[in-house]
Structure 1
Amino acid sequence: MRVSRAGSRWGTSATALVTVMVVGLARNAAAGCGCQKPPPPVAEVRPNVTYAGAPVTLFGASLVEGEDYDVTFTSSATGDDTTVSARVVNRRDLGDGVFKNQLVVPVPELPLGPAAIVARLAGRTSPAINIQDADFTVAPAPVAVPSQYGEWRVPGYRAAVGKDGVVYVTLDLTGTTEPLVFEARALGYPLRFTNQDIIFRNAQGFLMQLLVGVDGEPVPGMFVVPASDPSSSDSDTLRYSRHEFSTYFLQHAERQPHAVDPTDPNWHLDGSRHVDHNHLILAIAGQLGHQRPDPGTTPAFDLGVTTYSLFHQGLVGVSSVTMSGRALTDGYDTAGSPPTPDGDVFSNGMVSVHDHAKIEGDATGAGFDVARDAAVSGSRTIGTPLSFMEIKVPAGIPDLGKLTVEPGSPEVADRAPHRSKGGKGTKRSGGPKGRRQRTLVGPGSFLVSDLTIAGRSTLFVDNSAGPVTLYVTGRVTVKGTGRIVVADPNPEKFAVYVASDQPVTFGGSAATRFYGVLYAPRSTVDIMGGGQWYGAFVGNALRAAGRSNVHYYRALKGR
């Protein structure tokens, strides 16, 4: 591959941000990992928006396999052009899976914005492929989103604008695997947009996710926050929440069925399509002063980004939080460390603290009902309602069906595929007589329809080698002296995501010790009885009662 005369340099990074995927619901699918997206449409050029250095694929009936072609990219903004050369190969088309002749070339450095593409057989003048500038846009280099929580800026940022006035931003999420919330806005670029104005594609051309769901309702977890002042010189804010992404990376590990084919990175070794969730292209069809931005490059502005944990408070109830009895929230740093006043509580609705319950931290909600003998040690704030993402279960993870651990049930050790040669095996617990144990061995993710732990029984989570994530599509019930025990007490290494509106019941006793995080935004969640609950808990109507003590793990904030 050779490169001839270089065009002028183009801008650096991105504009109003937000990211990535909540993978689609499917069971035992061949590809797994969230790669079951509808394929991109058959086209002459794919993707039609990407950045310098990224591959672009050209298709045409006149292309001859094995022949060399010169491909010229011409900027419509400046007229600068750059030519690269490549040889035609015959590969499967991502669009329809059919083997076709195609040219795969890297996008050269050009000014941002629309660009025309012409491909000619080497030494010939007549074009074999002719792509108009309305059908291809050079985007800025991806902004790398850090894994650390906090606030940061990309100064002097410029975004690309296509021929139709759509603003394009690219993001690199390679380094982010933990549950995160992203917020971003363009400081000094007053772009106005709504939920209906935004879509995500990736660097392959897959449509990743629309902001608009069924009947025009926003997809939970992704929405636009208008600028507080309509005359502000800053853009509206885009906010997006996502859960863990460790499953995706584990399922693409070397030698796994979903590992990428080294001869063609668009496909897995098992023959299924690979979807790149790391390099995303955000398209915003917004307006500047009631009109679309001009094609080309935006004026320079600062891109302001805030990232924070999906588990930003100890107790979260989407519709309400109710604490009663002697329930307590506080915070902690490490096991055995003194409690801290960081047991914050959040709700879009009422926060009610009854009897002798106590919040050792701040409370945010639509209103407060605090009894005389109850207490909130920190501030009480009327907050802005937040949207909570909907859980979608990664396909291809081990499906354990109904997971019931109670006297009389078998004792089994379940392992994720990359950790197991045999899948399941009988295992004696060696525990007290009458107590049953089921073991989940990490790192890995598991799917269950219902989770029930009862009697003198234990679900043992062996997260000593890496995190364990449990996706539940039904209800969760832990009752009696049933318990969940983890090998590593770091709450970041055990997560339960509930992809249903079925109830979650955690019944504890004085001896209960739970370490992990729960995300069940559509479920009624009850933490009752007693015990010590370390981590963070998100439900719809969330109720803590009895002598249940919830200790928020401060490291979840990323501080």
Structure 2
Amino acid sequence: MNRWVTLVLLGILGALGTPHVADAGCGCAKPPPFRAAIRPSVAWPTETITLFNDNLVNGVTYNVRFRSSVAHSVVWTKGTADNTHKDLADGQVRPRLTVAVPPLPPGPCRITIWGQNLKAFSIDDQDFTVTAPPIVLHQFGETIDQPGYQAGVGRDGTVYLAFDLSQVSDATSFYGAAIGLPVAFGAGDVIMYNDQGFTMQMLAATSPNQFSITAGDTVMSDVLGYWRHEFATYKQQHQQLHDFALDQDPNWHMDGTYHVNHDKIVVAISASTGGGHLARGVTPPFELVVVSAANTTGITGISGSSGATGGAGGGADDTSDDDGSLGELPGALGAGTLLPK
């Protein structure tokens, strides 16, 4: 990483690190996610996703087709439906199918579920995006530098960056920037989700002392600063208190309330390139830099106004409503044939 970039980020860290009390949402006190056909709407290869549909039959194994809309690559996998788990949206038991995302390039992805000799249902690519695996962050001072990084961009031009905060328990400040991807954004352009589909943070609706946005230049993106309060208390409660212990379904506590996971966070940014949004699919390679520092009191800074220009993301069109057929399966399995369990 260039020395001047390091100095810029460290300078921002020092200038914006003045102690101010910040009020952050915490623990499992989050509004439930909305009912949806798929949750989460953004994931990475090997991550588990859940598909909901009333036509799923308990105990039946279905063939699941993933099609990358921009790269046009197709991967088949399988999953067995069950109707024994509660939906986080409202606590009602619903038929569902859980599968791991197969190896796919980043970008919008259409999912089609086949079974019982017919197509069962489809998830449109505007509702699901594949992105890069999470970057592991820490609670101590460090600079993470990832040259050649590429993230998934949804059909609407939103870019998704995933982070693993499972090793972060103490209050910590993070500052991130993209070198070689000079995009701009405002507070209203940034939303954070977890790997269950919960909305974890909307910067436009949060305390201004919890985040900062500093303008970039022709080489570097705007710099996003974010303060994460301590999670040692949250972790201790889940380890020591019976009511907060996880049920057999890890999405729920023993007392019947839902559990909110804070370990895997996806930062969704509707960034402006100056002439519109990023092209859907995958970002150009850039150097992702994240600077962290222990910080018990929050940060201060100016939250930027929206840099988004609106409109859908660019990029090559794909063939819409492409659900394939069971004839695509390995070994030329005929229609109605399910992969063995």
**1:269: how far off?**
1.9
Q: Could you tell me whether the CA contact under 8 Å between 1:211 and 1:223 is conserved in 2? A: no
Work out whether 1:208 is the aligned partner of 2:196: no
**1:94: how far off?**
0.7
Output the amino acid matched with 1:79. H
Out of 221, 231, 237, which is 1:235 matched to? Answer: 221
**1:387: how far off?**
6.8
Work out whether 1:171 is the aligned partner of 2:163: yes
Decide whether aligned partners of structure 1 residues 129 and 196 sit closer, same or farther in structure 2, where only a CA change above 3 A counts: same
Output the amino acid matched with 1:281. V
Q: How does 1:358-377 map to 2 (within 5 A)?
A: none
**1:284: how far off?**
0.3
**1:213: how far off?**
2.1
Work out whether 1:256 is the aligned partner of 2:218: no
CA distance in 1: counterparts of 2:187 and 2:25, whole angstroms: 20
Q: Which residue in 1 is equivalent to 2:76?
A: 83
> What is the CA deviation profile of residues 526-546 of structure 1, one whole-angstrom value per residue up to 9, with x for unaligned ones?
xxxxxxxxxxxxxxxxxxxxx
Q: Could you tell me whether the CA contact under 8 Å between 1:221 and 1:387 is conserved in 2? A: no
> What is the CA deviation profile of residues 402-423 of structure 1, one whole-angstrom value per residue up to 9, with x for unaligned ones?
xxxxxxxxxxxxxxxxxxxxxx
> What is the CA deviation profile of residues 59-105 of structure 1, one whole-angstrom value per residue up to 9, with x for unaligned ones?
11211111111111111122211112111111101111101111011
**1:23: how far off?**
3.0
> What is the CA deviation profile of residues 27-48 of structure 1, one whole-angstrom value per residue up to 9, with x for unaligned ones?
xxxxxxx112111011111111
CA distance in 2: counterparts of 1:106 and 1:254, whole angstroms: 31
**Structure 1 residues 298-307 or 248-257, which shifts more?**
248-257
> What is the CA deviation profile of residues 466-487 of structure 1, one whole-angstrom value per residue up to 9, with x for unaligned ones?
xxxxxxxxxxxxxxxxxxxxxx
Decide whether aligned partners of structure 1 residues 105 and 223 sit closer, same or farther in structure 2, where only a CA change above 3 A counts: same
Work out whether 1:245 is the aligned partner of 2:239: no
CA distance in 1: counterparts of 2:139 and 2:192, whole angstroms: 20
If you compute each CA radius of gyration, which structure gives the higher value, 1 or 2?
1
Q: Could you tell me whether the CA contact under 8 Å between 1:257 and 1:268 is conserved in 2? A: yes
Q: Give the count of matched residue pairs.
A: 281
Give the match's secondary structure for 1:248. helix
Q: Which residue in 1 is equivalent to 2:43?
A: 50
Q: Which residue in 2 is equivalent to 1:59?
A: 52
Out of 248, 257, 277, which is 1:272 matched to? Answer: 257
Out of 215, 221, 235, which is 1:226 matched to? Answer: 215
Q: Which residue in 1 is equivalent to 2:286?
A: 301
> What is the CA deviation profile of residues 401-447 of structure 1, one whole-angstrom value per residue up to 9, with x for unaligned ones?
xxxxxxxxxxxxxxxxxxxxxxxxxxxxxxxxxxxxxxxxxxxxxxx
Q: Could you tell me whether the CA contact under 8 Å between 1:210 and 1:219 is conserved in 2? A: no
**1:244: how far off?**
1.3
> What is the CA deviation profile of residues 468-516 of structure 1, one whole-angstrom value per residue up to 9, with x for unaligned ones?
xxxxxxxxxxxxxxxxxxxxxxxxxxxxxxxxxxxxxxxxxxxxxxxxx
Q: How does 1:58-457 map to 2 (within 5 A)?
A: 58-90=51-83, 91-121=85-115, 124=117, 126-213=118-205, 219-227=208-216, 229=217, 232-253=218-239, 256-261=242-247, 263-311=248-296, 386=301
CA distance in 1: counterparts of 2:50 and 2:296, whole angstroms: 41
> What is the CA deviation profile of residues 77-134 of structure 1, one whole-angstrom value per residue up to 9, with x for unaligned ones?
2221111211111110111110111101111110100000001116x2x211211111
Q: How does 1:500-519 map to 2 (within 5 A)?
A: none
**1:255: how far off?**
6.7
**1:290: how far off?**
2.4
Q: Could you tell me whether the CA contact under 8 Å between 1:118 and 1:130 is conserved in 2? A: yes
CA distance in 2: counterparts of 1:93 and 1:146, whole angstroms: 32
Decide whether aligned partners of structure 1 residues 386 and 287 sit closer, same or farther in structure 2, where only a CA change above 3 A counts: closer
Q: Which has the higher strand share?
A: 1
Give the match's secondary structure for 1:88. strand
**Structure 1 residues 248-257 or 187-196, which shifts more?**
248-257
Q: Could you tell me whether the CA contact under 8 Å between 2:140 and 2:294 is conserved in 1? A: no
CA distance in 2: counterparts of 1:265 and 1:290, whole angstroms: 44
CA distance in 2: counterparts of 1:386 and 1:131, whole angstroms: 40
CA distance in 1: counterparts of 2:255 and 2:36, whole angstroms: 25
Output the amino acid matched with 1:256. H
CA distance in 1: counterparts of 2:302 and 2:167, whole angstroms: 25
CA distance in 1: counterparts of 2:268 and 2:296, whole angstroms: 28
**TM-score when normalising by structure 2:** 0.78
CA distance in 1: counterparts of 2:58 and 2:47, whole angstroms: 22
> What is the CA deviation profile of residues 245-271 of structure 1, one whole-angstrom value per residue up to 9, with x for unaligned ones?
10111111167321222x312111221
CA distance in 1: counterparts of 2:240 and 2:208, whole angstroms: 33
Q: Which runs of 5+ in 2 are unaligned?
A: 1-22, 304-341
Q: Which runs of 5+ in 1 are unaligned?
A: 1-20, 25-33, 319-384, 389-559
Output the amino acid matched with 1:96. D
CA distance in 2: counterparts of 1:183 and 1:104, whole angstroms: 34
CA distance in 1: counterparts of 2:229 and 2:121, whole angstroms: 42
**TM-score when normalising by structure 1:** 0.48
CA distance in 2: counterparts of 1:284 and 1:92, whole angstroms: 30
CA distance in 2: counterparts of 1:386 and 1:63, whole angstroms: 49
**1:302: how far off?**
0.9
Output the amino acid matched with 2:209. P
Decide whether aligned partners of structure 1 residues 257 and 311 sit closer, same or farther in structure 2, where only a CA change above 3 A counts: closer
Output the amino acid matched with 2:25. V
Q: Name which structure has the greater RCO, CA cutoff 8 Å, separation 6+.
A: 2
CA distance in 2: counterparts of 1:387 and 1:174, whole angstroms: 28
**1:291: how far off?**
0.7
CA distance in 1: counterparts of 2:249 and 2:78, whole angstroms: 19
CA distance in 1: counterparts of 2:110 and 2:59, whole angstroms: 24
